[in-house]
Amino acid sequence: MKRAVYPGSFDPVTRGHLDIIERAAALVDELVVGVLNNNAKIPLFSVEERVNMLNEVIRHIPNVRVEAFSGLSVDFVKSCGARFIVRGLRAVTDFEYELQMAQTNRSIDREIDTLFFTTALQYAYISSTIVKEVAFYGGDISGFVPECVVSHIERRISEKQRENKV
Ligand code: PNS
């Protein structure tokens, strides 16, 4: 069975992520979306919330499953019985970091290769960070994230804004 892992923060999942998931899923028998439980970053959504949102948006793709992980991506990939890491490349600005990660991962484990997908042009400028920024200032994010994710973000941002006013 050809299995790949798409690791990331997905805080929150964007239309760009979903496009990569759909295209990668078409290439392998099973795609595991790995949601990093990263203690170093303060995310907008807990890892459980990110997994739940991803599960909502991948419902139409039968060979995709979503799992949380912590630690090294390569260890998670191995534990899934996979050999491939999937990542999206939006622009040259992504390249240096992505190359460094891919080379680091390969130097840790020679059996694991990274497959890069070029992000669809219409999503090339979208990032989770930009989505959060636009939402924070009340902008329309419906073109940036899957429909069912919009209300989750708006709700969380207004909760945060209320907390900060207290
Ligand atoms: O969505 P992101 O935040 O760009 O994803 C980055 C991610 C999760 C793929 C990367 O930070 C990662 O693999 N972290 C796990 C720790 C690890 O394996 N580090 C070594 C690779 S540099």
Per-residue pLDDT at 166: 52
Give residue 15's pLDDT band: very low, low, confident or very high (50, 70, 90): very high
* Listed residue (33, 97, 85) closest to 63, CA to CA: 33
Amino acid type, 7: P
Residue with the nearest Cα to atom 5 of ligand 1? 8
Distance 121 CA to ligand 1 centre (A): 23
Distance 9 CA to ligand 1 centre (A): 8
Dihedral angle over CA of 137, 143, 149, 151, nearest 10: 50
Nearest CA, atom 19, ligand 1: 72
For 58, phi then psi, to 5°, come to: -100, 10
Whether 52 and 149 have beta carbons less than 8 Å apart is answered as no
**E strand or H helix at 149, and its extent?**
helix 147-165
* Topology (CATH level 3) of domain 3-165: Rossmann fold (3.40.50)
The per-residue pLDDT for 164 is 84
Confidence of residue 41 (pLDDT cuts 50, 70, 90): confident
For residue 55, pLDDT over 80 is answered with: yes
Tell how far the Cα of 92 is from the centroid of ligand 1, in angstroms: 18
Average pLDDT in the chain? 96
User: Which sequence positions are flagged as catalytic?
Assistant: 17, 41, 90, 128
